[in-house]
Chains A and B, each alone.
Chain A
């Protein structure tokens, strides 16, 4: 029982780490209907920028603020340079633009900061905290879960309590109507990309501390993809619940099914699970139900 709990809970907490990346996907998808292929690269770029500022001898807080500024500028730049010129382009064109963006951001980040592996120490110990008997929880995982909670609360307040948040929700609902009542569309797009950049920074710091800041960091996006799909594309709650589920399924599958059919399941089980759920709920767990009056 304790062993089961151990596997289950550590799975949940790993899943939350995926959620952090998936939330970035959700933000952009909601605002523009596009899957942002570059989210993983943004995570890498944010982590790399932070580490490099920090290694230059700047303080922790200063580095965070500077990286935040860089990510916000990146968001504005993406809107100015690319999206503004693609206003009426089809979704596949926009998607291809994000694929290109992924290469540019990743290449640029490594060009500026170099390609070697950096360690990132957030000063959070990764100790096993004994809960009961042999059941332990990693303090770092708990910290990450706390950060995720703060981030989600912050985003919820931003979307529901501010004027900009209302603009963003109106654009997600009906871009044409938003345009017709004078919502500043291009500015809002920049805001969304900047927000996705901030989320990428949070994810980048936590993942960077976990895996080290290196090229492969952008690959966590592939882990977050089934979370995003499972959660239903447009819901931040969905991204969180999806992450928890995927994390738990991945861990439990690896331990309990892996012992029967062979190891190495954790790479494909999340996708298989997402696929299975989609067969039953095509719009994902928290996918937007179309409001239709009959």
Chain B
């Protein structure tokens, strides 16, 4: 969490990047954003707005999907990482938790956690200690450590995915849609842990999320993406107080439940809102 009077230095700076898939599909059209040191930044927007593409462009996983950054550049801890390999980024402290969790289903929960520890070349005597550090944040994983990860619940898989990323001792975690397919209570639990990690381990987060309400509650800053562009960004508190954000993303018209006629107007206004900002 960032204190109000603390000087803000950028841990990650994304400058006007364009992402193109298969050399023709333009998914991200000039996105800029910064993640401050020890900050939580929410990347918001609807399906297909370009949130995942932006995250994958940063972590360079985009290359496995025939995507590339055609314009702009990305710096992390002051260094240009626009053309780094994922392998070097992870070792440098930047790791992504993929949308849909992507645990190793046939490995046990503990083996899942061990993979990045080995990437970091943790000494054999240190491994236990590293695992305990993760289990302290996710006690449930300790109970299930010998289960095949594919058979654990959705919430537990999300915990495996975050815990696994944490094993790499990152400075920044790119967290893609942590709430996907989870019960509201579990979503809340996941975000509590994110906040906890941010405070105690000084890990910064860039969270792509469709659940605007929850994300803004835990984030310091937010950026809203629409059709590949940032249409609004700012302080999380300001964003959640903004009337247009409230109406378009938080489902609050300020006038209580809406009638059918009002919903039609609502969709029209939402479109206008998007165009005005774009």
Instruction: Name A residues whose Cβ lies closer than 8 Å to a Cβ of B.
Output: 87-88, 163, 166-167, 169-170, 172-185, 288, 291-293
B119 touches A177 (CB 8 A): no
| Chain B residue contacts of A170, Cβ below 8 A | 104, 107, 111-112, 115
Q: By the criterion CB–CB under 8 Å, are A166 and B102 in contact?
A: no
| A52, B227: Cα distance in complex, Å | 64
Find out whether the CB atom of A293 lies under 8 angstroms from the CB atom of B153: yes
- How many Å from the CB of B30 to the closest CB on chain A? 25
Number of A-B contacts (CB under 8 A): 91
Q: Are B105 and A174 in contact (CB under 8 A)?
A: yes
Measured between C-beta atoms, what is the minimum distance from B241 to chain A in Å?
A: 35
How many residues of chain B have a CB within 8 Å of chain A? Answer: 37
A183 touches B105 (CB 8 A): no
Among B36-44, B59-67, B199-207, the stretch in contact with A: B59-67
A292 and B154 CA atoms in complex are apart in Å by 11
* Stretch of B72-80, B83-91, B189-197 on the interface side: B83-91
Q: Contact: B106 with A169, CB < 8 Å?
A: yes
- Chosen A-B contacts, 25 in total, with CB atoms closer than 8 Å, are A88-B66, A166-B107, A166-B111, A166-B118, A167-B115, A170-B112, A170-B115, A172-B106, A174-B103, A176-B61, A180-B59, A180-B61, A180-B90, A180-B97, A181-B95, A181-B164, A181-B165, A182-B90, A182-B168, A291-B105, A291-B106, A291-B148, A291-B150, A293-B150, A293-B152
Q: Judging by beta carbons under 8 Å apart, are A180 and B150 in contact?
A: no
Q: Is the CB of A291 within 8 A of B151?
A: yes
Considering the complex, give the chain A residue whose CB is closest to the CB of B164: A181
Contact status A177-B102, CB under 8 Å:
yes
A182 x B103 contact (CB < 8 A): no
How far, in whole Å, are A291 and B116 apart by their CA atoms in the complex? 22
Q: B59, B87, B103, B152: which contacts A177 (Cβ < 8 A)?
A: B103
- Interface residue from B64, B95, B104 paired with A169 (Cβ < 8 Å): B104
**B54 proximal to A (CB < 8 A):** no
Instruction: Check B31 for interface membership: any CB of A closer than 8 A.
Output: no
Assuming the A-B contacts A181-B115, A182-B86, A293-B150, are A173 and B91 also in contact, with contact meaning beta carbons closer than 8 angstroms in the complex?
no
Q: How far is the CA of A173 from the CA of B61 in the complex (A)?
A: 17
Contacts A88-B63, A88-B66, A181-B168 known; list 17 others, CB within 8 Å: A88-B64, A166-B107, A166-B114, A166-B118, A167-B118, A170-B104, A170-B115, A174-B102, A174-B103, A174-B105, A176-B64, A177-B98, A177-B102, A179-B64, A179-B86, A180-B98, A183-B119
Are B105's CB and A182's CB within 8 A? Answer: no
Contacts A181-B165, A182-B87 given; indicate if A173 touches B95 (C-beta within 8 A). Answer: no
- How many Å lie between the Cα of A175 and that of B91 in the bound state? 18
